[in-house]
Amino acid sequence: MYGKFEAYAKTISLLTILTLILVGIGYAIGGISIAIYFLFLGLILNLIMYFVSDKIVLASSGARIVNDKEAPRLHKIVGDLSNKIGISKPKVAIVNAPQPNAFATGRGPSHAVVAATTGLLAMMNDDEIEAVMAHELGHVINRDVLVSTIAAGIATAITYIAYFALFFLIGGRNNNNGAVLGLAAVILAPFTASLIQLAISRTREYLADYTSAKITMNPQALISALTKIENMIRRGAKLDASQTTASLWIANPFKHDLSSDRIAELFSTHPSTENRIKRLKEIAREMGIYID
């Protein structure tokens, strides 16, 4: 069964690998001091993003904060879930788009925003909306914005160091085998860091699915919602938002090829819907619920 322990263990392992890559290439080109310098630079840039990301995400997704009179159904579902979890009710936003989708942003339970598209509200029943919003609140209580900020900070530092090392190696006159290997390493490092960052994103999606199932005690509702969302994305339902927000949505709104192929999934911000449903069925069986 895929639970919190497995998700946290995998996230910590991936973050550790990112850090080791960072320290390794920094040490290789100029000692630990360079690695630490770029690490701090990357973390500072992403710390700034951490505090302003909610405003940027809302603007780039076209989301609008709404009150309970404008969206009473969504406000009630979010409010009931927040009371059940024991957190402050986050702000609620609507995105005017036919594609059913949703996201959460904000740096923690006290500074959170959950958003749903008009398409999601139009085609989902209350149980499905509850399951989707529980997934998004799972991101909030699991501090996924903080986790993704740390991962992005380390990955950014790796990229900066790699560019610096690439310039150093290309500009140098030493063309021996060691330099060639070093050149290959600094080219591969950002690519590897990107793959690890994507793996962390997928791990947190699985954890949010798990959290939704546990909060609602209704994993079938999330399975149904994910299936509807995937079908609409495959049909080309539109969502006018920046592609930089892809990892935030419950399903990647810009990827019409939602393959469960293992190689394709390595380059994806989200696990395939097929694999998510398999995990949810495993969780359901652990809960004593049997889904065909």
The per-residue pLDDT for 14 is 67
By mean pLDDT, which of 124-128, 138-142, 255-259 is the weakest? 255-259
Q: Report yes or no on 209 lying in a domain.
A: yes
Within-domain flag for 175: yes
Please list the active-site residues: 136
In a domain, 291, yes or no: no
Whether 224 is covered by a domain: the verdict is yes
Look at residue 242 and tell me whether its pLDDT is greater than 90: no
Tokens of 187: 């080219």
Q: How far apart are CA 74 and CA 217, in angstroms?
A: 19
Closest listed residue to residue 276, CA positions, set 257, 253, 258: 258
In this structure, is residue 72 part of a structural domain? yes
State pLDDT tens for residues 276-291.
Answer: 999 999 999 999 988 8
Residue 83 domain flag: yes
Of 22-31, 188-197, 201-210, the range with the lowest mean pLDDT is 22-31
pLDDT tier, 42 (very low <50, low <70, confident <90, very high otherwise): low
Let me know the angle formed at the C-alpha of 99 by 268 and 242, rounded to the nearest 5 degrees. Answer: 55
Report pLDDT digits (tens) over 95-120.
Answer: 999 999 999 998 778 889 999 999 99
**CB-based contacts of 227-236 (< 8 A; 24+ apart in sequence):** 227/273, 227/277, 228/100, 228/123, 228/124, 228/128, 229/99, 229/100, 229/101, 229/120, 229/273, 230/258, 230/273, 232/98, 232/99, 232/100, 232/119, 232/123, 233/99, 233/258, 234/258
Give me the mean pLDDT over the 168-173 stretch.
57
- Confirm if 148 and 204 have CB atoms less than 8 A apart: yes
Domain-embedded: residue 292 = no
Looking at the structure of the chain, the number of domains it has is 1
Inside any domain, residue 152: yes
Give residue 75's Cα distance to chain centre.
24
Question: Containing domain of residue 156, as a range?
Answer: 4-286
pTM value is 0.81
Beta strands in the chain (DSSP E): 63-65, 91-95, 102-106, 112-117
